[in-house]
Structure 1
Amino acid sequence: MSAILEVREVTKTFGGVVANRGISLSVGRGEIVGLIGPNGSGKTTLFNSIVGQHPIDEGSIRFEGREISHLRVGEIARLGLVRTYQQTRVYTRMSCMRNMLISMPHREERLRDLFARFPREAYEEAEMLLDFVGLYPKRNLPAGELSFGQQKLLEFAMALMNRPKMLLLDEPTAGINPTLINGLVDRLLRVNEDLGLTLLVIEHNMRVIMNLARYIYCLAHGELLAEGTPDEIRDDQRVIDAYLGAH
């Protein structure tokens, strides 16, 4: 399967601290790939580099064969590469529906006009996605009235509103009630299988990532430690030692 995302020998430093050193990974189109590692291993820094939140020092990042390491966040998002965050970034005073509508492409322009009119099709798509994540009954509530787990589901739906080709999910199950986790995982599998959406997922819940991802990369101390199938990663002594050494 052809790669939709290729990261090659990427290095990122902050002052004298090396956050990522020579990291390479590849994500095939339509795949679900996991990115794991102890806290401070450089996972989120790598995500930030991929989506253009800060420039890399060395290496190459290609999306659909195009070099994107010099592009800005908005430019990369318009190419179809979108991410979510550990801490949700919803607009708490706006309704869930309004959050969805301003998440459409070119949302920067929409934000400047809080009374912008949206086509009926946009409302229909937003309602469909809110229903997909189980939030349709709460569509008119301020997002701030949702639980943290529900806000994560809303952020997931907002990301889908961009019609991405690939989603980078940063700890999607962190802080979510266990009863919601299975539902979220099921929805991730469904958008992958039904829509062909490619997923790269940072996740600390090993049960979740082992059941979700088909291939996993493990970082430690800013470097690539191991890669392989879930079974290979589960049995890799280097991965076991890295996690045991982090506690």
Structure 2
Amino acid sequence: MLFSVRFFIVCTTSVSLLSAVAQAGYTPNFNFNQPHDISGRTPCCVDRLTTLTCGRMRLNTPAKFAKRCANDPDFALIQCCSSCFDRRSSLSSEKYNLVVRRHLEDPMKATCIDRRGGDWCQKMANRENYWQDASFSTIGGCGAFPSAFRECRNTCGYCSATMQMTVVKYDYRLATSTPRCDIKTYFARTDVEMKKRYNPAKKEFDPLARLIWKRPKDTDYFVVEDHNYEDFM
């Protein structure tokens, strides 16, 4: 009988805790089905507010700019990432890793919540409701960085929480690599993607490409030299 009473108290307390958390606007971190489209990928570190805008903020209000880079993950990793962690500075890698550990990877310190709420983010991650539409299917899901990072950080696994660890890989070297990242790229290109990008496409056979066109002096016509007509047979 004593065991039953204790079990009832524990269950009641758990339900009350979950209700209080839900009323407070936070989403319980019980998501075990992490998306695979971003697993192991590294978000690109670029200035999405443009380098000119970020450079002006850093120049005009250096103290405020440095504070936001150290304490605001949205600003540091999305809006002005390249300026916050300038590759020309030897300390940028250390600062980047510190921000990532403090605000995203450490489950005890990270604020890992869904701003849109767990239900909305689950539908977005699973491409349900209007996310099924063709116009949204290519930009929806957790791979839609940086919107997914801002709105559904917990559901998508961009941060660590009590019951889960971040699924993306925050790698400063990859995130700031110019060949792997640019303003139009969400995640650093993998080795396979880099190989496909830089491999020259095989040219189709063009028999006319072997012709040598020459225009004799004082004429208005061209002649073909060194051509073997058997190639066309």
TM-score w.r.t. the length of structure 2 is 0.27
The structure in which a higher percent of residues are strand is: 1
Greater Cα radius of gyration, structure 1 or 2: 2
The structure in which a higher percent of residues are helix is: 2
Which structure has more RCO (C-alpha within 8 Å, separation ≥ 6)?
1
